[in-house]
Structure 1
Amino acid sequence: MSLIAYLNGRDIPAAEANVFVGDAGFLQGITISEQLRTFGGVPFQVDVHLDRLFAAVRWLGWDQVPDRGELVGAIQRVVTHNWQQLDPLDDLGVTVFVTPGLYPLYARDDDAHATVCVHTYPLPFRLWAGAYEVGLPLLSSTIRQVSPAAWPSHLKCRSRMHYYLAAKEVRTRDKQATALLLHEDGCVAETPTANVIAHFAGEGLVTPRTNRVLSGVSLAFVRSLATECQLSFGERDLTLTELADADEILLSSTPFALLPVESLDGTCKSCPGPVYRSLLANWNAKVGFEIAAQALQFQDRR
């Protein structure tokens, strides 16, 4: 494949999209990122992702960042070029990241500019294709979520050692399991890649308070689908015991959209349940795609 990427104002061959070892994003993990995907080659919810990205950039006080129009154009060019090299029924993951640029030890005064990149990859459907029907096992980890006192939960950043450690820990118990992180007070936080949603009879859909976790773009989309399906959707602290009592547990994330959880710490759940099926069917209708069928079709694609 002859793929391209956008790096610091230029469209270049993807193989040449290299970040210098002296970049603060590499040295200190100071990176703001957004993960998008396409449906039928069209980037999904670009504006919502960029709203969050630029809110983070403003909060961090970074300047020398391209304006929104340039970044939208870069996403469109890179996606259009790269998607044309796939099967027309296949789709891409799209990564946008911004760092403050060179770490001061490596920088001169005229080096003060951010590093900005857009690149894509074929969605790795093999990682989740089977889970739409059988669900994912969820195991709680002893690794705790980073406190919002360290950095605001609305920053989608790549300082993710806690996610790595949590995933590594639970896979010593079950290689197929997804890690569930808790807050220091024992309340449910999120997985390394997804928001957690529970359904309780008589209460409806409940997710951990979004001022304590990264409020996902896909989570917000599920909230809108729930409204259309006349399902209640609320936020509150959830203990692990309460989550275990849920009728259904769902995970929402950009690459896979929505997946059911088949067990929590070994306790089996209703999977796939009627609420999950209803929400996924409505998501399919919104994007004009059978999301699970696409994943199965291309799970063996290299």
Structure 2
Amino acid sequence: MSLQISINGQLVPKEDAKISVFDHGLLYGDGVFEGMRSYAGKIFKLDDHLDRLWDSAQAICLEIPMPREEMAEHCKATLAANNIIDGYIRLIVTRGAGSLGLDPNRCSNPQVIIIADKISLYPAEYYEHGLHLVTASTIRNHPAALNPRIKSLNYLNNIIAKMEGLQAGCVEALMLNHKGDVAECTGDNVFIVNKGVLSTPSTDSGILEGITRNAVLEIADQLGIPTRQATLTRHDLFVADECFLTGSAAEVVPVVQLDNRTIGDGKPGPITKRLLEAFHKLVRQ
């Protein structure tokens, strides 16, 4: 059976899932999206994802053409239609079809697209042995240009940095902000552990406020692990005892090397492992 895609609330086979070539989501990356995970048939942190989707849409003056409750039901229905228990949901809202010009006022009928499928972002060996990262020369978008807290369809900034990582033989790359401080990776938030304290860049460092990031901070509090959200530099990562990344697709993945510097003892650390185990328990509740 063909994968079923939800377009504006209607399920259609993957081969028939189409939108206009004049849609500003395609022409200009004008739209917003969320990437969510399902575990045991339940969408993890669905309400938090919808909060962020509505915030992103509000920030770019995009009116989402259906109520939150209906959106949530369509996400669940798309999972069910594809018999997916543990999977990934991509929820997209575009500006809609318009002209070849930039004027968003000429667009009509925003499109709501929901794709449910299975995903494995990184091979199992990376979770066991850890990632190697390089620092990209491409910086994260300046917040005054396109605020990274908006999860928009315009991901070219991240893609260029991702290319730098791949060209260096790494599956991820660290991105700095316009001040030269650590922001995030191309698709994941960054954490370090140093002397038992868990640290991650604050939102004013030019990051996307990740749903998994926030879940890990909550887990750490419950486990009694001290946390802080602060400005971090590459030096902080170089001298950290542990490092890991978080994201809806990546979940929690260790990092053992940055720019040819070994982090800690070069193996996933005990706090990273503890948080990963607790996260796996949380998503199955």
TM range (shorter): over 0.9
Could you tell me whether the CA contact under 8 Å between 1:33 and 1:53 is conserved in 2?
Answer: yes
SS at match of 1:255: coil
Aligned position for 1:145? 140
Give the deviation of 1:70 after TM superposition. Answer: 1.2
Q: Does 1:172 align with 2:161?
A: no
Aligned position for 1:102? 97
Runs of at least 5 residues in structure 1 that lack an aligned partner in the other structure: 290-302
CA distance in 2, matches of 1:111, 1:258: 39
Q: Tell me the C-alpha RMSD between the 2 structures.
A: 2.0
Give the deviation of 1:80 after TM superposition. Answer: 1.1
Give the deviation of 1:105 after TM superposition. Answer: 4.1
Could you tell me whether the CA contact under 8 Å between 1:5 and 1:120 is conserved in 2?
Answer: yes
Aligned position for 2:120? 124
Letter in 1 for 2:91: V
Q: Does 1:268 align with 2:225?
A: no
SS at match of 1:222: helix
CA distance in 2, matches of 1:160, 1:64: 20
Could you tell me whether the CA contact under 8 Å between 1:83 and 1:92 is conserved in 2?
Answer: no
Aligned pair count reads: 280
Which residues in structure 2 correspond to 1:63-212 (within 5 Å)? 63=63, 65-84=65-84, 91-105=86-100, 112-124=108-120, 127-174=122-169, 176-201=170-195, 204-211=197-204, 212=206
Letter in 2 for 1:17: A
Give the deviation of 1:256 after TM superposition. Answer: 2.5
SS at match of 1:163: helix
Give the deviation of 1:41 after TM superposition. Answer: 2.3
SS at match of 1:179: strand
Runs of at least 5 residues in structure 2 that lack an aligned partner in the other structure: none
Aligned position for 1:294? none
Structure 1 residue ranges (4+ consecutive) displaced by more than 4 angstroms after TM superposition:
none
Letter in 2 for 1:220: N
Aligned position for 1:21? 21
Give the deviation of 1:96 after TM superposition. Answer: 0.2
Give the deviation of 1:123 after TM superposition. Answer: 1.1
Q: Does 1:281 align with 2:277?
A: yes
Aligned position for 2:10? 10
CA distance in 2, matches of 1:224, 1:258: 14
Could you tell me whether the CA contact under 8 Å between 2:31 and 2:62 is conserved in 1?
Answer: no
Could you tell me whether the CA contact under 8 Å between 1:30 and 1:99 is conserved in 2?
Answer: yes
SS at match of 2:257: strand
CA distance in 2, matches of 1:32, 1:65: 13
Q: Identify if the C-alpha distance between structure 1 residues 13 and 236 changes in structure 2 by more than 3 Å, giving closer, same or farther.
A: same
List per-residue Cα deviations over 1:184-219 (Å, max 9, x = no partner).
2210011111000111105x1111111321010000
Aligned position for 2:47? 47
